[in-house]
């Protein structure tokens, strides 16, 4: 007999009339389609989504930056996949909603269920997880609903193009740290002459993604008919290999640096992946011809790689980097402030804004979403932005999870943990180590920042700019540009960056 997930929304009769009733009592019956029984694992995290946005799949709307809320209910679950799970209320669920399943406000919702059983990746939309098709429902008018959990997230693939290559490498360093086999992935974009000039070697660009970006982002650039793909194969495009690094890590983005929680991702990159890729694809294998770039998370990581490994890279193009001074961690001073959710006047910290300055979401609301996504019911292993920051910057606790910088419910900052963050504060890094770093960074730093950055990242870049310009012996020649009324990553462009790298190569080879 074919199993199915059936979600019954039973409207509880009350003393008031249907015309004045404003809530619905939701009961959820969950069963597994037998066609997926061979792909099913009995330990997972159950997600129920009720989204006010009917145009997108709810499981893809896991950031709260939207005028149409996605109300998420989640709990860890042991389940054999045979007998249905019956959810009559949400008392044992952690949720983003201000209501329970017993009193869902009347309205139209996009309903979806997801079974997060994947243990290889940090985010919920990972290959192997099982979900239902999204379905639009109206409450309280509708009665019983049938929803079938009959879909599985497929493995990732790359576009079919011989100039697009996939790299998958077992890392001895990460495998030793995690005491299990750990592989890393990347995609490689080859120059147009690669297959014709088989003795030629090439400069290499390492591109770091924005938050959550995977090696498959090359697909957008190289899909058939795209303007970039046409330009890349033209005589105008530089002959530079681009390696698209993969951001996936144990707690979200790995940030490509060594840390107590993620392990030696920086050492893996510089000692294993870079030599492997450059040997395999005829890279120049010289610092002089190796560059790094990125925007947002990629902006922070690319700058950090240039600073932590100044002898490995010969130039960074960093756009809209995450906070590069923790005295300005967005609008929070992690060293001096007492609370990550509230400022000194008792007002909620905004986390994102539009270009007019109007706040879109608060830090407290954002963390509420990450708490729901995390199997610990906290942001520390949500796979989200602050999970990744915390995993990189914080020490490891006895339970194997990163120590939280701030309490996930109250926002109170742990000052001892904040001190541990100092070693990753890029402004302090140059300030404390300029005598050694300064000479190695000359001619290598370009940073762009919009002064209306949507995530309040410009104050930290302003602090970094002020500090690096105060350095002497040598005086820094870093180029740091601020653009008025520009937002997050507005000026980032792959073609422009490649052309700028080509100009640098021409100057080097003169």
The answer on pLDDT for 2 being more than 70 is no
Q: Which helix (H) or strand (E) holds 265?
A: helix 265-267
Distance CA 330, CA 351 (A): 7
Read off the pLDDT of residues 314-334 as tens digits, 9 standing for 90 and up. 999 999 999 999 999 999 999
> In the 8-state DSSP scheme, what is residue 237?
S
Domain boundaries, the chain: 6-152, 164-325+425-509, 327-423
What is residue 451's three-state secondary structure?
Answer: coil
49 vs 212: CA distance, rounded Å? 21
Phi-psi region of 256 (alpha: psi -120 to 50; beta: other; left: phi over 0): left
Residue 73 contacts residue 90 (beta carbons within 8 Å): yes
Q: How many CA atoms lie within 13 A of 366 on its CB side?
A: 20
The helix (H) or strand (E) run that includes residue 443 is: none
Query: Per residue in 255-275, pLDDT tens?
Result: 999 999 999 999 999 999 999
pLDDT at 15 over 80: no
Say whether 192 sits in a helix, a strand or coil.
coil
Q: Among the listed ranges 84-98, 139-153, 416-430, which one has the minimum average pLDDT value?
A: 139-153
Give mean pLDDT, residues 277-305.
Answer: 98
Return d(Cα 310, Cα 306) in angstroms, integer.
5
DSSP 8-state code for residue 424: G
Asked if 33 and 150 touch (Cβ cutoff 8 Å), the reply is yes
Least confident of 8-22, 209-223, 351-365: 8-22
CB 265 within 8 A of CB 174: yes
CB-based contact 134:149 (threshold 8 Å): no
| Banded model confidence at residue 85, pLDDT cuts 50, 70, 90 | confident
CA torsion, ordered 159, 164, 169, 174, to nearest 10 deg? -80
Flag whether the pTM goes above 0.75.
yes
Q: How many helical (H) and strand (E) elements, i.e. helices and strands, does the chain have? A: 13, 26
Which of 53, 64, 145 has its CA nearest to residue 98? 64
The 3-class SS string of 275-341 reads HHHHHHCCECCCHHHEEEEEECHHHHHHHHHHHHCCCCCCCEEEECCCCCCHHHECCECCCCCCECC
Read off the pLDDT of each residue in 295-310 and give the average, rounded to a whole number.
Answer: 98
Q: What is the mean pLDDT of residues 94-112?
A: 93
CATH of 164-325+425-509, one of 3.40.50.1580, 3.40.50.1820, 3.40.50.300, 3.40.1280.10: 3.40.50.1820
Using CA atoms, how far residue 178 sits from 123, 130, 248, 364, in Å, is 19, 27, 15, 32
Q: 16 pLDDT band (50/70/90 cuts)?
A: very low
Confidence of residue 22 (pLDDT cuts 50, 70, 90): confident
Asked if residue 143 has pLDDT above 60, the reply is: no
CA distance 143 to 363: 37
Mean pLDDT of 491-501: 98
Give CA angle at 189 (188, 192), nearest 5°. Answer: 145
Instruction: Kindly provide the b/e burial profile for residues 467-491, where b requires at least 16 CB atoms within 10 angstroms of the residue's own CB.
Output: bbeebeeeebebebeeeeebbbbbe
Phi, psi of 246 (to 5 degrees): -100, 130
């Amino acid at each position: 007999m074919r199993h199915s997930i059936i979600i019954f929304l039973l409207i509880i009769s009350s003393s008031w009339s249907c015309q004045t009733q404003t809530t619905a009592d939701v009961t959820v019956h969950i069963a597994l389609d037998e066609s997926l029984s061979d792909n099913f694992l009995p330990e997972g995290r159950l997600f129920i989504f009720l989204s006010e946005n009917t145009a997108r799949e709810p499981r893809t709307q896991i950031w709260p930056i939207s005028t149409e809320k996605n109300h998420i209910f989640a709990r860890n679950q042991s389940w054999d996949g045979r007998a249905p799970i019956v959810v009559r209320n949400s008392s044992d669920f952690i949720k983003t909603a201000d209501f329970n399943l017993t009193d869902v406000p009347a309205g139209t919702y996009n309903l979806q269920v997801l079974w997060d059983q994947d243990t290889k990746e940090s985010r919920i939309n990972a290959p192997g997880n099982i979900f239902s098709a999204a379905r639009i429902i109206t409450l309280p008018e509708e009665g019983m609903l049938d929803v079938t959990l009959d879909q599985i997230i497929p493995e990732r693939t790359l576009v079919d193009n011989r100039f697009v290559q996939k790299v998958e490498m077992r890392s001895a360093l990460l495998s030793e740290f995690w005491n299990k086999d750990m592989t890393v992935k990347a995609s490689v974009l080859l120059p147009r002459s690669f297959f014709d000039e088989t003795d030629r070697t090439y400069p290499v660009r390492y591109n770091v993604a924005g938050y959550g970006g995977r090696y498959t982002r090359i697909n957008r650039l190289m899909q058939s008919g795209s303007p970039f793909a046409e330009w890349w194969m033209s005589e105008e495009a530089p002959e530079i290999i681009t390696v698209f690094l993969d951001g996936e890590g144990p707690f979200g983005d790995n940030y490509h640096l060594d840390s107590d929680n993620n392990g030696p991702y920086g050492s893996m990159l510089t000692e294993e992946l870079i030599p492997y890729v450059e040997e395999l694809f005829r890279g120049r294998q010289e610092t002089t011809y190796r560059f790094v770039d990125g925007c947002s998370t990629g902006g922070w990581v690319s700058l950090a790689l240039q600073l932590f490994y100044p002898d490995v890279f010969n130039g960074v193009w960093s756009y809209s980097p995450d906070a590069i001074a923790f005295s300005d961690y967005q609008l929070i001073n992690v060293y001096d402030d007492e609370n990550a959710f509230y400022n000194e006047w008792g007002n909620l910290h905004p986390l994102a804004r539009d270009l007019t300055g109007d706040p879109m979401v608060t830090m407290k609301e954002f963390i509420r979403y990450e708490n729901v996504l995390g199997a610990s019911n906290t942001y520390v292993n949500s796979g989200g932005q602050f999970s990744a920051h915390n995993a990189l910057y914080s020490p490891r606790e006895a339970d194997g999870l990163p120590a939280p910088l701030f309490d996930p419910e109250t926002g109170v900052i742990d000052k001892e943990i904040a001190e541990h963050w100092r070693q990753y504060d890029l402004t302090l890094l140059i300030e404390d180590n300029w005598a050694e770093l300064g000479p190695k960074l000359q001619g290598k730093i370009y940073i762009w920042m919009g002064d209306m950055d949507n995530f309040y990242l410009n104050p930290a870049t302003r602090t970094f700019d002020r500090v690096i310009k105060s350095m002497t012996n040598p005086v820094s020649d870093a180029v740091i540009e601020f653009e008025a009324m520009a937002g997050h990553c507005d000026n980032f462009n792959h073609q422009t960056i490649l052309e700028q790298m080509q100009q640098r190569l021409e100057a080097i080879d003169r």
